[in-house]
Amino acid sequence: MKRSDSKPAPVYMDYAATTPLDPAVMAAMQPYYTHNFGNASSVHSLGRSVRGAIEESRERIAAYLHAKPEEIIFTSGATEANNLACNLLGAQEHLITSSIEHKAVLEPVKVLEACGVQVTRLVPDLETGSLTRCQIADAVGPDTRMISVMYVNNETGAVTPLEEISTLRDEHDLLLHTDAAQAAAWLPLNVDQLGVDLMSLSAHKMYGPKGAGLLYVRDRVQLIPQILGGSQERGRRGGTENVAAVIGMAAAMGLIEKNRDTHAARIRQLRQDLQAQLLAAIGDQLVISTPTNAAPHILSVAFKPANGHPMDGEMLLLNMDLEGVYASAGSACTSGAITPSHVLLELGIPEVTARASLRLSLGRPTGAEDIRRTVDCIDKVVRHMQARRQHEG
């Protein structure tokens, strides 16, 4: 039998950055790239057919969220949805958020603050990695209009207790917004149960297409459009609809609803195995930033300096890439930056350690062999880098 010299397939441990398109989602999208290509605003039968497909997708998605179809606004992704939600705020109104939000919230909030919006950025509880109801309650004032907190932190996997926080919404007549991009594939998205008024989602985090997302907007909320020049989405988001992406997002959400809890339990166990094996291999040099009650798929680790020598986080990732394991340093949206993660710094991780961080994120295709290879790779790379630094003095 002829021996194969080919390398094993790479191990993908970056599902929090993006997920592969499910073949069933691709099949659902394909007709809308070819023969069913009409503009949904056209009055002829081809346009009406496409309009019907969009509205059917809206109804399906609304059902998954336990929302009304008219409460769903299709966007290009969670970043646009976050911006659209934040733009509800006007001068002198007060926003409460956390210091570890995704930059898709933090950056528009900076602009709003410069325009007169009052902003309170709360540091999360260091044990849970998220804000508590008590923290937010203490920050609520007479001008507070909105609370914006992510459902699942994209770097640590910490889960925000939205149901507890939502009681403040009713007590003080506030709006509660959440970026739920990292929660979509793993946790329930019932908007009434969570008690949210606005929710941002992105299709490519749940085995759907890139460039597709939505903002759920409870019907009592009046949005201010930020993309003008068209009457699409009931006048709330102008521009010809990305029809195939809308169809794909609905198909993806339908697939993740199937056996979600079973998949989540399996991935949670694999993440726990990954953490245990890394601790056994690396020892006290390893810092775990993911809390015990985190979402199933994310493990955030960082490396303390060894014998006075800091670990080079960029070289760590590059060497892992050469070994065939793909991961990221915190958010994929900030990859390439030399600054340490703002999330880890806010959680009290020293800068020299935060610069050597890894976000290892699992997906439905992840198996036990992927965990073993990832641990072997990290152990090998860390030992090699440490030996080299000691040799260089």
Catalytically active residues, by annotation: 333
The answer to whether 158 and 152 are in contact (CB under 8 A) is: yes
The two tokens of residue 44 are 């002829």
CA dist., res. 196 & res. 345, Å (int):
28
- Asked if residue 183 lies in contact with residue 201, where contact means CB atoms within 8 angstroms, the answer is no
Residues forming a β-bridge with 175: 146
Asked whether 227 and 219 are in contact (CB, 8 A), the reply is no
Provide the phi-psi class of 233: left if phi over 0, else alpha when psi is between -120 and 50, else beta.
left
Counting Cα atoms < 13 Å in the Cβ hemisphere of 269 gives 7
Cα gap 249→255, rounded to integer Å: 10
Question: Distance between CA atoms of 216 and 65, rounded to whole angstroms?
Answer: 9
Contact 179, 105 (CB under 8 A): yes
Contact criterion met (CB below 8 Å) for 133 and 161: yes
Find the DSSP H helices in the chain: 23-29, 45-65, 78-86, 103-114, 133-139, 162-172, 191-194, 243-257, 260-282, 313-322, 342-346, 351-354, 368-392
87: tokens are 């733009």
Task: Spell out the SS3 assignment of 280-330.
Answer: HHHHHHEEECCCCCCCCCEEEEEECCECCECCCHHHHHHHHHHCCEECECC
Positive or negative, the Cα torsion across 344, 347, 353, 357?
Answer: negative
